[in-house]
Amino acid sequence: MYQVEHGVKDKEKAATMHPAIAELEASRSAFKDDFALNCLARKQFREAKRAANKSALQDEALVNRLSLAGSQIKLLPEADDDASKAKLIRLMHEKYQVPHLIRYSYEYLDHLNCLF
């Protein structure tokens, strides 16, 4: 009787675990092809290496352009909002630069009038 009771429980347990076991077997068969996995991993590594090299070349060009080649300044990766902040700084600089130029030009003209 014990064997019959536990046999029924075992069958119920097997029925509930069947989808999980089938999923594990499917994922195992997907990873069975070592060559395909190796090709996929190498492709991802090559793409990451290309991106890192491209970023390093751009950073080096920027450092050389800004004459920071001898300094110990390390460039951080570009964030999403860096471009918008740079535009805002440029607009603010242009906004406040014009009155200064006008003021200096008027002062210069007044200085010239005093000389004549």
pLDDT digits (tens, 9 = 90+) for 11-24: 888 888 888 888 88
Q: Is the model's pTM score more than 0.75?
A: no
Q: Quick one: what percent of the chain has pLDDT higher than 90?
A: 17
Tokens of 34: 């070592």
Higher pLDDT, 49 or 60: 49
Which residue in 63, 66, 85, 87 sits closest to 76, CA to CA? 63
Higher pLDDT, 29 or 57: 57
Tokens of 20: 């999980």
